[in-house]
Structure 1
Amino acid sequence: MSEVKLAGSVRTEFGKGAARAIRRDSLVPAVLYGHGSDPVHLTLPAHELGLALRTPNVLLSLDIDGTHELAIPKAVQRDAIKGFLIHVDLLLVKKGEKVTVEVPVQAEGELAAGGNLLQHELNTLSVEAEATHLPEAVTVSVEGLEAGASVLAKDIALPSGVTLVTDADAVVLQVLAAQAEEAPAEAEAEGAEA
């Protein structure tokens, strides 16, 4: 788990116009909440925050006008066309605290011969882990799996200290048999009969 340090400041102006002005200054409006405290409205540097958010479940060490807080991203809003950050919701965490997050599932290895297809039923797993030791992803070996085989959530090995929140019997990956393509001559003959 990587920890990224960011310097931010409390913002006092709100609304669409203020948010646009903040983004023009290469900053991103954000809200920090959690632990029953009042939400804190922040501005964070857009470039550094964008780089940090490339890592799933990144731990952010925030320096907000002299106070230090730990947070994880809870919701990220991006522009639909250009992809720049519009707004970020951050969840306040403490060392030793357990949090529930979504972790990407990555498959590795080669399927058994035959042109079979691997279908992801779930792209992420919901897990609970200590806020300072969140896994970036879980890896599943699909080496040699035959058509019809499936991998359940309970079959995935999780790092120590991480517990599964997703239903244990949920299908995560499934191997589908390759479908043979119909020959063009047969398809034309069937079309002529109709």
Structure 2
Amino acid sequence: MSSDKIQAEVRTEFGKGAARRIRRENKIPAVVYGHGNEPVHLTLPGHDTMMAIKHGGANAVLELEFDGTSQLALTKQVQVDPVRRVLEHVDFVAVTRGEKVTVDVPVHIVGDAVNGTLVVTENTTVQVEAEATHIPEQFEVSIEGAEAGTQILAGQIELPAGISLLTDAETLVVNVTEQSAEEPAAETSAEAAEAGDSE
């Protein structure tokens, strides 16, 4: 995954009032932690940062440029305004090229199991160790034609070269079971009740 370059400014004002002022200017307060250094408080451009994080997924790596230096930073926590859906604050962890990092990568189910089955995702992410600049956005797991009783474990997920699984290989990720016969029956009784109401 390539990193997006973001022009940042070092932030000297702190507190809620300062954060509100930053957001009014369509910018985002952020903090970069890690590598034994003091946390660096930054102000990031709102739109560019939002697009970069959206593009990079849950583990976006951004190249933050400030004070004549460049710092690779892995997104760790993103606060989003629940109403306006804009970024309110971002926490990053400083990383270096080639450095191995521990991340949770989402599991994406593709395909359809056979009729009459119920597909349950027991774990939506798996934990892996990957190079900071080569973190996958997601792992695809195919359930095409899977029959009841099919179980896909973490150890069965195909990982790209250079990525190590940290989640226990025996962890159940996807479970395909028989659909309960009660569910359609419940719908039928509801439909019958509606029919009775309309008479």
Q: Normalised by the size of structure 1, how large is the TM-score?
A: 0.91
Structure 1: 4+ residue segments shifted above 6 A = none
Return 5+ residue gaps in structure 2 as ranges.
194-199
Question: For each residue in 1:138-163, what CA deviation from the matched residue of structure 2 results, as whole angstroms up to 9, or x when unmatched?
Answer: 11111211112111000111010000
Q: Measure the CA separation in 2 of the matches of 1:82 and 1:117.
A: 35
**Post-superposition shift, 1:103?**
0.7
Q: Measure the CA separation in 1 of the matches of 2:138 and 2:168.
A: 18
Specify the alignment match of 2:189 in structure 1. Answer: 184
> SS in structure 2 opposite 1:53?
helix
> SS in structure 2 opposite 1:168?
coil
Q: Measure the CA separation in 2 of the matches of 1:119 and 1:82.
A: 32
Residue 111 of structure 1 contacts residue 145 of structure 1 at CA under 8 Å; is this kept in 2? Answer: yes
Alignment of 1:105-184 (within 5 A): 105-112=107-114, 114-180=115-181, 181-182=184-185, 183-184=188-189
Specify the alignment match of 1:2 in structure 2. Answer: 2
AA aligned opposite 1:116: T
**Post-superposition shift, 1:88?**
0.4
Residues 1:89 and 2:91 are matched in the alignment: yes
Residues 1:26 and 2:26 are matched in the alignment: yes
Q: Measure the CA separation in 2 of the matches of 1:59 and 1:16.
A: 26
**Post-superposition shift, 1:110?**
2.1
Write 1 or 2 for the structure with the bigger share of helix: 2
Residue 101 of structure 1 contacts residue 126 of structure 1 at CA under 8 Å; is this kept in 2? Answer: yes
AA aligned opposite 1:143: E
**Post-superposition shift, 1:116?**
1.6
Q: Measure the CA separation in 1 of the matches of 2:189 and 2:74.
A: 54
Residue 30 of structure 1 contacts residue 44 of structure 1 at CA under 8 Å; is this kept in 2? Answer: yes
User: Percent identity over the alignment?
Assistant: 51
Q: Measure the CA separation in 2 of the matches of 1:80 and 1:109.
A: 32
Q: Normalised by the size of structure 2, how large is the TM-score?
A: 0.89
Return 5+ residue gaps in structure 1 as ranges.
189-194
Residue 104 of structure 1 contacts residue 138 of structure 1 at CA under 8 Å; is this kept in 2? Answer: yes
Q: Measure the CA separation in 1 of the matches of 2:70 and 2:144.
A: 45
Residue 2 of structure 1 contacts residue 58 of structure 1 at CA under 8 Å; is this kept in 2? Answer: no
Specify the alignment match of 1:64 in structure 2. Answer: 66
